Structure 1
Amino acid sequence: MPTWLVIIIVIAAILVVGAAAWFVIEGQRRRRLRETFGPEYDRAVKEHESPREAERELSSRVKRHSDLDIRPLPETTKDRYAQEWALIQEQFVDRPSGAVVEADRVLVSLMAERGYPTEGYDQQLADLSVRHANALRHYRAGHDTLVRHRESEMSTEDMREAMKHYREVFEDLLTDAGEGAESHGKQATGNRGNGTRRGDDGTARRGSDR
């Protein structure tokens, strides 16, 4: 067999192996992004012109997140936030919209306490998506209700739904993606014995308010 033919065969084999390796690496990278971002992966693909563009965006989020000093909360801080959240939910009886505003404020404060930058809502979503992707739909829903309420007054039931969404984000952030969420959720939403009754969303209710 001529030497030049051997060289061509070797080069072709190298290209084939290289292409196969590239596809394997790309497949692994895509799988990691899907596992990391969950539904946010599909959302990013819809928002960009191609999956590759979306994956570049998501990879940049991971890179930015790795540079952040994200830290767990000590138990005393968790307890303080849980108590503050319980007070906000009690305020819902008399001031539904005010309680939702306070819930939004506490979430931003909790983000900062964990080490997340809070310079803007869109950036908050991007940063949270790396470790709290499953809670983002709740954050969007609660925030959207609050924005709409500022433009046109929303009903008490709309405010109650916003509180439910915000509570999901609160518990996820407080316990770091659900770790220990059940115990802290009970503390944050439990009845404090003040004569009020709580619905499934954890907000206080009185009398026949069902």
Structure 2
Amino acid sequence: MDNTSIIIIVVLVVVIIGAILGLVFARRKRSEQLHEHFGPEYDRTVQTVGDEKKAQTVLNERQKHVETLEIRPLSVSERERYLADWSAVQSKFVDEPGQAIVDADRLIIEVMQIRGYPVSDFEQRSADISVKYPGLVSNYRGAREIANKNKQQQANTEELRQAMIYYRSLFEELLKPEQVVGEEKKG
């Protein structure tokens, strides 16, 4: 072999090794980004699907799905109306905690729908919520689990109180002022 052939082979080997290392580091960085963004939801998804690569694919697909949605902020009047509705739900909790949980769940779904989230399936709702509110999705699932126990009249008052706290945390995020747009002035 002449020197030119050896140099070409060495350059090709270096390029191939560089490309492989680049892919490994890019995947590792993406994995770290997903873990940082989703937090406990990342670990939950890994446990649910049983494989880290599959979990990363699932989480990437969630992000892509949410990007296709036309999520919109609430208007000031919508926000005010929902805050009043929430206040009524919380007041109802004192005398009718079970019904208050039903109403809180319904109100969360209503706000999600008006903002542009698909709401027909709980698993899809929680997956969509996990993208923008990864720290709250476990609360939402916990509230829903208690709400299901409530439907069977198996939830105690303390569990219902916890569900109300969980629902409130998500409700407050969905209604945050930065998620609200002003009303257009009518002339």
Structure 2 match to 1:24: 25
Deviations 1:93-144 (A, max 9, x none): 2111001000000000010011100010000011111101111111111110
Q: 1 CA distance for matches of 2:73 and 2:41?
A: 23
- Structure 1 range deviating more: 109-118 or 69-78: 69-78
Deviations 1:26-84 (A, max 9, x none): 12212221232121111111112221110000000111111000111122111110110
Give the superposition deviation at 1:3: 3.0
Structure 2 match to 1:208: none
Q: Give the TM-score normalised by the residue count of structure 2.
A: 0.89
The answer as to whether partners of 1:91 and 1:99 remain within 8 angstroms in 2 is yes
Which has the higher relative contact order, 1 or 2, with Cα contacts under 8 A spaced 6 or more apart? Answer: 2
RMSD after superposition: 1.6
Give the superposition deviation at 1:153: 2.9
Q: 2 CA distance for matches of 1:9 and 1:23?
A: 21
Structure 2 match to 1:184: none
1:58-137 superposed matches below 5 A: 58-137=59-138
- Structure 1 range deviating more: 59-68 or 40-49: 40-49
Q: 2 CA distance for matches of 1:115 and 1:109?
A: 10
- Report the residue type matching 2:77 in the other structure: T
- Report the residue type matching 1:61 in the other structure: R
Q: 2 CA distance for matches of 1:93 and 1:127?
A: 31
- Report the residue type matching 1:37 in the other structure: F
Which structure: greater helix fraction? 2
Count residues with an aligned counterpart.
178
Q: 2 CA distance for matches of 1:63 and 1:157?
A: 38
- Report the residue type matching 2:124 in the other structure: Q
Structure 2 match to 1:205: none
Q: Which runs of 4+ in 1 moved over 4 A?
A: none
Structure 1 match to 2:146: 145
Q: Give the TM-score normalised by the residue count of structure 1.
A: 0.80
Give the superposition deviation at 1:152: 3.8
Structure 1 match to 2:5: 4
Q: What is the SS of the residue equivalent to 2:151? A: helix
Extract unaligned runs of 5+ from structure 1.
181-210
Give the superposition deviation at 1:174: 1.2
Structure 2 match to 1:161: 162
Q: Percent identity?
A: 34
Q: 2 CA distance for matches of 1:95 and 1:156?
A: 10
